[in-house]
Chains A and B, each alone.
Chain A
Amino acid sequence: MTMVRIPTVCPYCGAGCGFFVEVEKGRAAGIAYMPGHPVSEGSLCSKGNAALEVLCHQERLKSPLKRKGEGWAEISWDEAAEMVARGMGGTIKKDGPGKVALLASSKCTNEENYLIEKLARLLGTPHIDNCARLCHAPSVVGLNRTLGAAGMTNPIPDIADSQCIFIIGSNLAENHPVISRWIHRARDRGAVVIVADPRETHTSWMADQFLQLAPGTDVALLNGMAQVIIEEGLIDEDYIAERTRGFEELSASLKGLSIERTAEITGVPKEDIVRAARYYASSPASTILYSMGITQHTTGTDNVQAVSNLALICGQIGRPGTGVMPLRGQNNVQGACDMGALAEFYPGYRRADDPGTIEFFTSAWGAAALPAGPGLTATEMIGAAASGGIKAMYIVGEDPANSEPSSLSVKRALESLDFLVVQDIFMTATAQLADVVLPGAVWAEKEGSFTNTERRVQWSSKAVDPPGCALSDLEIVCIVGRSLGLDFSYPDAASVLAEINRTVPQYAGITRERLGEGGLVWPCPSPDHPGTPILHTTGFRLPDGRAQIVPVPYRPAAEGPGGDYPLVLTTGRVAVHHNAGSMTRRSASLISREPELFVEINTADAQRLRIADGDMVIVTTARGEAQASARLTERVKRGVVFMPFHFPGTNILTTEAADPEARIPEFKVSACKITRRG
């Protein structure tokens, strides 16, 4: 039997690189690179290279399970469906659908996420969300408000055409490595790279200018830069007059802001702020790349709006080499949001509190009635589980026990539910708390479309069958739907995509037949539309076609250092791991390279605490404590420490304080103390 190569989309990050899974005798035998891919050009990072270690892992869930004593018993799909009907259906009957909450998966396909949110709403609950809440919810809210669309405005290869690349709050060299090749090409052509981060990262290595700002001071920096640009007359007056509204309010709000004050708040020398502002404003094409360092704050929405402001007043949007570029983390978090698996949006970003939305979907879905939103967010669902506001949950491909802040409270909250069903590929910490566990499929074991951070929709094909009795998540959601009395029968992913074509305007022209190499970039409103790589070229989907500039005052982070907790803890990622680590910590070639939880401490701070490199230390916040291995470094300034959140423990420490609008927790700033263990 010969070997076949099946084209798939990488299951890890939002770059959406393609690679082939080599299949021999029905088993995944290897990986082949895909030189024709528009973003990766055949390259693949360490996580992608290790992807088969997840697919073939011996701990993969192979059968539905129910609790039995201290352990688990394997059950049939029929019994599992029956238990879900009794558990979730029972709660709906007894307490009403508003007591049930669903979490969709940013690792599942568009089709699967569409069905999960449809399931929620047909059951009558408005409580559906996905992990974007923990990462780019501020982008969804802030960019929809300022630019009329929540997505990266330009494609990744377009970065090579930029002359000034401003990277703020993103460690893309480790989290979206493939973007680096395009930045290098821009540098070859003379582009200037400015990186703003509290920590010297692999990304800051690419910087011509490195602005090492204090955690939580991004609005101050961005406002400071905007003020310099306005004062020095470097704004694009024509663009402001023709394409924006709100400039006068912004200008008024920044009057009186002195560069000295900005330098004082941020810790960045004023000459550097001025120079960065000048570079950004006066280059013929400037782009801003940002990620969690901007969004994971109580001021996340403000931060995003400040980024938009900067781009708008300089006219750096809507042309090649320009843009506002939120770097989405998961392979399909963009898609999960587009499909409306969000507390405040139905599919296509139709607002859940708009009667027009309810009317449209009641008709499109043939429903008797649909719930208006906004529902509870992912974080709020956990809080409601603790207080009894939510009694049953259906969690798909998500590990809140490790990814939400304040892990100890999360576990208690989930344990207090009447009924919890978890669908996943491994027995994660969250699955451990479930009443019923349903075994799902990884990317190569199912087919469907995924939307990367560029709004590029790509089709990933099925290479092998899932192990044991595991099923594709699409099949499982249909089983769950039918067990709860809904008419959920879709023969395949393409049939769901056809429905998505009818209900999500941005995807109207993205049909199965058209999804070949390179995919299609939404908005794609009709079957003959080529897709829209660059957004906002002729205006914005807002009243008058004008973007909205929003003044944002600087507010410090919710929990500053002081008293018992004199240090600032900030969190982030490393190259060989991914998010909560359920996949990468089980991959031998990745865990061997970064085996344990560590904390980076400034050398001088460590010496004062009598901590040597390699010592085991205890990091404590108001939420709890975690042990980590100390790494002494100059990468963080005095007073700041860094921990990766791929290992259980980091999120025991993080704060639950959240952005009031986007409701994202402030993962990036907590107050902590560190002591040597023993």
Chain B
Amino acid sequence: MAVYVDINRCIGCRSCEVACQRVHGGSGHVRVSFVEGLASVPIFCHHCEEAFCAAACFSGALHKEGDRTAFDVDKCTGCGLCALACPFGVVWTEKIAHKCDLCWGRTEPACVATCPANALSTDGEPPSRRSHVRAGRAGASGCLR
């Protein structure tokens, strides 16, 4: 499971960034990237099937729990390997690692709830007929192709 974005609906308002920061502190887990003044794409953790961040994590803080790449903050030393292992650049290390946990413990991710343009979802079924694009693909074989 991950947060999916309908790129044709994203308006680049950065509400997802601010909501994530409000809920999780630090600088949040989402970054909106602007492309040639013509599009904005929020980059989220893909919760990859074969998670390279977890593979690089020597302490087991980052690990798979079912569909989700989970993070056990008590085991993290902030070494920084995970941030370098993520192909999409969505893991950060300040004193410890910071990564999307799909708002575990909330009814739905704050970013999905807050998006004014209704561009985000967790089920990959956007509220539109048009095709949507996940900001990246999860899974070992599909990871970067």
A interface, CB within 8 angstroms of B: 30-31, 33, 35, 40-46, 48-50, 52, 173-174, 177-178, 180-181, 184-185, 187-188, 200, 202-203, 205-206, 575-576, 589-590, 592-593, 633-635
Contact = CB atoms under 8 A, between A and B. Distances in A.
A177 B113 contact: no
A188 B18 contact: no
Contact-residue bracket for chain B: 20 to 34
Contacts of B15: 43-46, 48-49, 177
Contacts of B141: none
A44 B110 CA distance: 10
Given A173-B12, A177-B11, 10 more contacts: A45-B116, A52-B22, A173-B117, A174-B11, A180-B11, A184-B9, A184-B128, A205-B39, A575-B12, A635-B37
A44 B114 contact: yes
B134 interface: no
Interface string B103-118: 0000000000111111
B19 interface: yes
Given A49-B18, A590-B18, A634-B37, A174 B13 contact: yes
Given A43-B114, A177-B116, A181-B117, A202 B18 contact: no
B93 interface: no
A49 B22 contact: yes
A146 B119 CA distance: 37
Nearest to A39: B116
A188 B114 contact: no
Contacts of B118: 41, 43, 180-181, 184
A620 B75 CA distance: 56
A200 B13 contact: no
A265 B39 CA distance: 29
Interface of B: 8-9, 11-15, 17-19, 21-22, 27, 37-40, 113-119, 127-130
A44 B19 contact: yes
A35 B27 CA distance: 26
Contacts of B17: 46, 593
Nearest to A576: B14
12 contacts: A43-B118, A45-B114, A48-B15, A174-B11, A174-B12, A177-B11, A184-B119, A188-B129, A188-B130, A575-B12, A575-B14, A589-B22
B10 to A, nearest CB: 9
Among A173, A184, A187, A635, the most chain B Cβ lie within 10 Å of the Cβ of A184
B71 to A, nearest CB: 22
Nearest to A42: B113
Max chain B Cβ within 10 angstroms of own Cβ: one of A33, A187, A188, A205 = A205
Contact of B22 (A41, A42, A50, A575): A50
Contacts of B113: 33, 35, 42-43
Contacts of A633: 37
A42 B108 CA distance: 12
Contacts of A181: 9, 116-118
A202 B13 contact: yes
B72 to A, nearest CB: 24
What 5 pairs between A and B have smallest CB-CB spacing?
Answer: A177-B116, A173-B11, A46-B18, A181-B118, A180-B117
A177 B13 contact: yes
A40 B116 contact: yes
Contacts of B129: 188
A582 B9 CA distance: 30
A218 to B, nearest CB: 23
Contact of B116 (A35, A43, A188): A43
Nearest to B34: A202
Nearest to A592: B27
B115 A173 contact: no
Contacts of B38: 200, 205
Best-surrounded residue of A43, A50, A174, A634 (most CB of chain B within 10 A): A43
A589 B21 contact: yes
B117 A589 contact: no
A420 B71 CA distance: 56
